[in-house]
Structure 1
Amino acid sequence: MINKKKNILCSLLTLLLMSSCNWLEVSPSNEVNADDMYSNGDGYRNALNGLYLQLSGSTLYGKNMSWGFIEVLGQQYLTEKMKATEVYAKAASYKYDDTDVKSIISGLWTESYNAIAGCNKLISMVSEADPALFVENEMERDLVWGEALALRALFHFDILRMFAPSMEVNDGKSYIPYVDSYPVISTAYYSNADILKKIEADLLKAQKLVAKCDVEKHPVWMETEYRMFGKGLAGELPEEVFFAFRGFRMNYYAVTALLARVYMWEKEYKKAFDCADEVTKASNNKKTLFGFTETLSGDMKDCTNLIFSVNSETLLDDYKPFVTSGNDNLFLFNVEDIYEGSSEDQRGKVWVSNLGSLQYSKKYLLEESETGYDVIPVLRLSEMYYIMAEYYAQNGNFTEAGKMVDKVRSARGLISSSSNFSSMEDFRRKLLKEMRKEFVGEGQLYFQYKRFNDKSLSDNVKFVFDLPENEDI
């Protein structure tokens, strides 16, 4: 598995040597070999792999969008263990006007639109490409096309979640551009509703394109052993590394799960439920594709639960300083605040270690020999059950809502039921507590509080990032 992943990374690095782009479009000086690059299927593969490399970089999900900056905004860590003059303590106080915090926010904007430019270039080329250029002909052409569309939607959705208010307080104003052409024709800004419709359109089209591989022709590749570890019967394994490890790419179920997340943001609860329900019921030859591991001790990331992840070979080195005694910035918490002293909850036992009187997450401290050492979760099955629970709660069916939440609780070792919700407000409060337990270090909490416009997160919480000064177009 490790060698295969390293081969993939080599392809990514090849792309980076070939091209780079500003947030609007690739500059002409960097397009020297563009025709050669897209003269065969390998060029398209490299272009797509480059987008995943950007997504997994430290500016985005390799750090800032997972266990770093966004998790700090979600108040998952104790500010008292961060040096007051350093960026994370200031971020935890939502000082978005601070120079250091501005730098991170600007990086999120710029890197995301950089990647969107790459998506648009690839989409413009692959949508017109002859299927004969590709080893797997139309199936491969459509896979590249669909994944590029899904990534474009993901990048835009994350920008929207950061730089625009939630639909709970939607004011109809325009906040960000949706850039979907190459070269750029317009940088018009759009409202939340308009952006979400464009994201939905991209994801629905992507769904159809990647289904040919993941659902129709090679559903076995979506099973956990194939999807996450590249293992399986020799006759069923993809012959080429490009088709392996579908759990690290925008596979059909990742697109569907992202659609569920988008619909929740849009407050389209029934559509969100239907997408989440499809993922929870996904199977191949009566074998469930996604589930929960029996014990987290052997698989701390619970890879069976993962629908889409990014991988970072430097994860351990990047994360370790933040949980090492003596450093100025420590990402620590009080385990009682999160796991409420439960002796049943596997997460509070397996995911947590002590540093003095406080605790930290061990999710990202795995050595290379350990299962999932380089994995950073982006979409989990757990979230799908929470989405289904919220749909039921919105319809006043708190009993069914409780059953959905209990699917996760039970899998984590908790015997007690959560179904005693007295109101929608009570449901939201308890759901956020459950999400905090499940998504430690995964960058989810801030966005969940924002989605509800729940300012109990912090007295001075600020849910909308300021536009970067150098990108005010």
Structure 2
Amino acid sequence: MNQYLNKIALSILIAFSAVSCSNFLDVVPKDKILESQIFENEAGMQNVHNGLYVMLASDELYGRQLTMDAVDILGQQYNMPASHTKTKMATYAYAEANPKKVFTDIWQKAFTTVLSANKFLESLDEHSGIVSQEKANLLKGETIAIRAMLHFDMLRLFGPIYKVDPSMPAIPYYDAPVTANNPILSAKDAMSKILADIDAALALLEKDPILTTGKYKATTDYDSNPYYSQNRGMRMNYLAVKCLKARVLLYAGDKTGAATVANEVIAFTKSTPFFPWTPFLDATNAANPDRIFSSENFFALSDYTLYKTQEDLFDSKLAEPMIYAPLLNRLTAVFESNDNDYRSLPSWKIPVVGGKTQKTFFKYADVPETKMVFRMQIPMFKLSEMYLIAAETTPVPADGIALLNTLRYNRGLTNLGATAVLATEITKEYRKEFMGEGQLFFYYKRNNTTAIPNGSTTSGNITMGPLQYVVPLPDAEINFQ
């Protein structure tokens, strides 16, 4: 990684400024920007902090590859026949040119963002006094949580199958703005650092406004500056970090810890009106459907290029070798031939243009009403996942079925019977719930699932193991270790 970390270090402040300080760049040459100038006031500090979220929404990260593109291809969500441009990705041919470039770009962008986060934390400490301690705590807490989340997703993607052997080499961990390569840690050691960062973030965010006023409403606290209290649901807030902790603990095999955290989040939602299940009429609204179930999302990422990505991947006018779409019988099997499921009909439809006979993906398509709060949002952490984690980790299967039935009821489905097999039903819900969100592949990898449905054939499975689940580290990382 050294060959590009040095370049990042030299340009990091320029990159921040390019994101949100264009007026500043108009009058100061790029190579003369000084950190002290950017951090000389609160507005500049906020601009740099907001730049982290812009980076998260990039195509290489959650704006595309880690949600609806590469990672969902690995999860066999789409039909990728031999003629398709991404068939090498769908067959786990990681050494081929296209997959290799995609995953190198993901790695580099992730650690560029980590370095940016670390530089922000360092600069925030060096320029203490610009903002109050309460504001600094929010900024630090969010930033440390972003760092933890990125490391965790690099661990899930490039690390070993944790359930099999967490002592195997995985990824480096960067908790300071260094430009030299840090050593590759074992998956277990990287996990320890991720959890330490999560706990540090939670301590800093314990007075998060989202806990008292919800995810959109601004408060009169923080000098009435809306940056700190408005739209908390679009930031790595306290509840989002709790969800991240539950996800991480479950991946690490700590079912007791994951259950505790997931149930804490569920209990909180029952005690406040801030995170209700999305009603049927909102989810299936003929004109403006809320396909992402926005009321349930603890953190959704704003992506102002989302509809361009929707067109690039899922538009019905795309030629067959380019469109990301499932085989109809595979999609029908996922939803068990039930279009009453709120996740089915609004997001998956046979289009009226483009000449396609299979259903195409509309989850991220725009809606006519531009004032809808869910526009241009990608779900990152949501209530349904907490129910799934709680169901998976309960020691009483009947309690797990009851949790699944709550989720199913709020997706328009009937209750499961007493003879339902909990693990099987959880897998079914993961396949339905996280389309376009990049979680299914990681669910399979976490459980070391040995065979998964082949998205490019009408029947049959793909045998899975380390060669499929473990993406090789980029050459640049290996060569400079």
TM-score class, shorter-chain normalisation, is 0.7 to 0.9
Partner of 1:56: 57
Listed one character per residue, the Cα deviations across residues 93-131 of structure 1 (whole Å, up to 9, x for unaligned) are 11101101100000010000101101111122224542x
Distance change (3 Å), C-alpha of 1:460 and 1:470: farther
3-state SS, counterpart of residue 196 of structure 1: helix
Q: Among residues 241, 262, 276, which one is paired with 1:276 in the alignment?
A: 262
Q: Is the 8 A contact 2:17 2:24 kept in 1?
A: no
Deviation at 1:58, TM superposition (A): 0.8
Deviation at 1:214, TM superposition (A): 2.7
Partner of 2:334: 338
Partner of 2:315: 323
- Equivalents in 2 of 1:30, 1:102: separation in Å? 32
Name which of structure 1's ranges 456-465 and 259-268 shifts more when overlaid on structure 2.
Answer: 456-465
Partner of 1:26: none
- Equivalents in 1 of 2:71, 2:195: separation in Å? 24
Deviation at 1:421, TM superposition (A): 4.1
3-state SS, counterpart of residue 467 of structure 1: coil
Deviation at 1:367, TM superposition (A): 3.3
3-state SS, counterpart of residue 60 of structure 1: coil
1:418-433 superposed matches below 5 A = 420-422=419-421, 427-433=422-428
Distance change (3 Å), C-alpha of 1:16 and 1:201: farther
TM-score normalised by structure 2 residue count: 0.83
Q: Structure 2: where are the runs of 5+ without partners?
A: 1-15, 453-460
- Equivalents in 1 of 2:418, 2:146: separation in Å? 36
Q: Is the 8 A contact 1:351 1:363 kept in 2?
A: yes
- Equivalents in 2 of 1:420, 1:79: separation in Å? 36
Q: Which amino acid aligns with 1:92?
A: A
Partner of 1:155: 150
- Equivalents in 2 of 1:15, 1:463: separation in Å? 40
Q: Is the 8 A contact 2:72 2:439 kept in 1?
A: yes
Q: Is the 8 A contact 2:166 2:188 kept in 1?
A: no
3-state SS, counterpart of residue 451 of structure 2: helix
Q: Is the 8 A contact 1:280 1:290 kept in 2?
A: no
Partner of 1:99: 97
Q: How many residues align?
A: 432
Partner of 1:37: 38
- Equivalents in 2 of 1:307, 1:191: separation in Å? 31
1:144-223 superposed matches below 5 A = 144-184=139-179, 187-214=182-209, 219-220=212-213, 222-223=214-215
- Equivalents in 2 of 1:241, 1:90: separation in Å? 43
- Equivalents in 2 of 1:287, 1:373: separation in Å? 24
1:133 aligns with 2:130: yes
Partner of 2:87: 89
Q: Among residues 200, 221, 226, which one is paired with 1:240 in the alignment?
A: 226
Q: Which amino acid aligns with 1:384?
A: M
- Equivalents in 2 of 1:18, 1:464: separation in Å? 43
Partner of 2:118: 120
Partner of 2:449: 454
Q: Is the 8 A contact 1:11 1:49 kept in 2?
A: no
Deviation at 1:237, TM superposition (A): 12
Q: Is the 8 A contact 2:38 2:44 kept in 1?
A: yes
Q: Is the 8 A contact 2:94 2:100 kept in 1?
A: yes
Determine what percentage of the aligned residue pairs are the same residue.
27
- Equivalents in 2 of 1:409, 1:31: separation in Å? 57
Name which of structure 1's ranges 341-350 and 296-305 shifts more when overlaid on structure 2.
Answer: 341-350
Partner of 2:274: 289
Q: Structure 1: where are the runs of 5+ without partners?
A: 1-9, 20-28
Give the RMSD, CA atoms, in angstroms: 2.6
Partner of 1:353: 349
Deviation at 1:244, TM superposition (A): 1.8
- Equivalents in 1 of 2:405, 2:23: separation in Å? 48
Distance change (3 Å), C-alpha of 1:127 and 1:470: same
Deviation at 1:44, TM superposition (A): 2.3
1:358-377 superposed matches below 5 A = 358-367=358-367, 369-370=369-370, 371=372, 372-377=374-379
Q: Is the 8 A contact 1:338 1:437 kept in 2?
A: yes
Partner of 1:387: 389
Q: Is the 8 A contact 1:157 1:199 kept in 2?
A: yes
Partner of 2:458: none
Partner of 1:258: 244
Distance change (3 Å), C-alpha of 1:469 and 1:308: same
